[in-house]
Amino acid sequence: MTADITLRPAALPVVMGTVIGSDGAPVTAGTIHVAHGDHLFGVDSREMRIRPDGSFVLPGLSPGTYFLQYRESHWPPPRGETPVLSQASVTIHETDVANVKVVPIHMVKATGRVIIDPVQRRDFAGSECSIGATPADFDGNPGPAHPGRVRDDLTFEFASWPGPHYVFLDQGRWFIKAIRLKGVDITDQPIDFKDGAPVSGIELELARR
C-alpha cells in the first residue's frame, strides 16, 4: 500500500507584546526567555531581545502553550534570594497573538497554625519542622518557594509563587492528618495562591507517626 502526502507551506504564528519591569515601566533592554508549557517546561527554551520601547516579537512558534519570562535579577538566583522577574503565559493556535503583557509576579505570603493533640504536644519541636508549598503543576514555575519553620506558639509563615500549590510538611516523625483553610477541609487539595492576595487561616492538623 502506498500513500501520497502533500505538504503545503504554512506560516507559523507570531507573538507580540510588551515587557513591564518591577518599576512598572516598560523594559528598555535585555532578553525575554521563552519556554514550552504543556508539561515540557524546562526541556528547552529560546531567547529574544527586547526592543528599546519594551516591545517584543516572537516569530515561528508552533501551536501550544508557552511561558514568557523576563529575569531582572541575577540568574540563577543565589540560594535564599527571591528572583525579581516578570512573566506571562500564552497559548498559540493557528493565528498571531498580540498585546501580550509580561508583567511582574511576586511571591505570596501564607500564614497559619499547627494543631496537635495535647498529649503529643510535648514531643513536638517546631524548629525541626519546615512547612511550605509545592506546585500542583511545575509548568512555568519561576523557582524555589520559601518554606518556614513552626514557631513556639505553633504558628507558621511561608511564601509561594502564584498558582495552585499543595502544602507540605518536611518532618519525618510527623505527618499532616488534615488541612483546613478558614475552617474548610481542603486535605489533598491545592491552594490557589494569587499575586497580591496573602493567604491566611491555614490549619495543619498533625499526628505523630
Residue ranges and CATH numbers for the domains of the chain are 15-105 (2.60.40.1120), 108-208 (2.60.40)
Record the cell numbers describing residue 84, joined without a space: 525579581
The DSSP element (H or E) to which 174 belongs, if any, is: strand 174-181
pLDDT reported for residue 9: 55
Its pTM stands at 0.83
Question: 58-62, 64-68, 137-141 — which is least confidently predicted?
Answer: 137-141
Helix (H, G, I), strand (E, B) or coil at 194: strand
Summarised one tens digit per residue, pLDDT across range 34-55 is: 988 877 666 677 899 999 999 9
- C-alpha angle 25-28-34 in degrees, rounded to nearest 5: 95
State the pairing for strand pair 108-116/199-208: parallel
Paired strand residues for 160:
108
Summarised one tens digit per residue, pLDDT across range 179-193 is: 999 999 999 999 999
Summarised one tens digit per residue, pLDDT across range 12-29 is: 889 999 999 999 999 999
Q: Which residue's C-alpha cell is 490549619? A: 203
pLDDT reported for residue 192: 95
Cα separation, 199 vs 176, in Å, equals 19
Which of 51 and 79 is assigned the larger pLDDT?
A: 51
pLDDT reported for residue 122: 85
Cα separation, 163 vs 5, in Å, equals 43
pLDDT reported for residue 61: 86
Question: Taking residues 55-60, what's their average pLDDT?
Answer: 93
pLDDT at position 109 over 90 = yes
Q: Which residue's C-alpha cell is 503565559? A: 89
With 0-12 / 13-18 / 19 or more C-beta atoms within 10 angstroms meaning exposed / middle / buried, residue 186 is middle
Q: What is the DSSP string of 113-161?
A: EEEE-HHHHTT--GGG-EEEEEESS-TT--S--B-EEPPTTSEEEEEE-
Cα separation, 134 vs 114, in Å, equals 18
pLDDT at position 144 over 60 = yes
pLDDT at position 10 over 90 = no
Cα separation, 129 vs 154, in Å, equals 11
pLDDT reported for residue 41: 60
Cα separation, 49 vs 32, in Å, equals 6
Q: How far is CA 104 from the centre of its chain?
A: 12
What is the pLDDT confidence band of residue 4, given thresholds at 50, 70 and 90? low
